[in-house]
Amino acid sequence: MNNTQITSTLAPIVAFVAGLLAAKFTFLDAATWTGIVTGVVGLVATIYAGIATRKNALKNEVGHMEGTTVITTPKSADALASNPDVLSSADVKVVPK
């Protein structure tokens, strides 16, 4: 999914939930509820992104350290193709000692 798909999918959902909350809890208006719901959705998305990418981020960071090579799954190695020190367990590479 690209950003446009995500935005065009989430915007009506956020508006719908904010409308329900504004109708149920009238002490805040719809604009305030929209801001609150958008903030919660953003927080959840940020937390998910951090959790979902932490393994590859760690492999990439360690792979950049001098004198280290990370051996990982082919899928992870393909995702970090720009880092020559992250290798797939299926790769065969000769390195000098």
Share of the chain above pLDDT 70, in %: 77
Q: What is the DSSP letter of 20?
A: H
Instruction: Reply yes or no on whether the pLDDT at 91 is more than 80.
Output: no
56, burial (CB in 10 Å: exposed 0-12, middle 13-18, buried 19+): middle
pLDDT of residue 85: 72
pLDDT of residue 16: 87
Where exactly are the structural domains of the chain? 3-88
28, burial (CB in 10 Å: exposed 0-12, middle 13-18, buried 19+): middle
43-62 pLDDT, tens digit each: 988 888 888 777 777 666 66
pLDDT of residue 64: 66
Mean pLDDT over 5-24 rounds to: 85
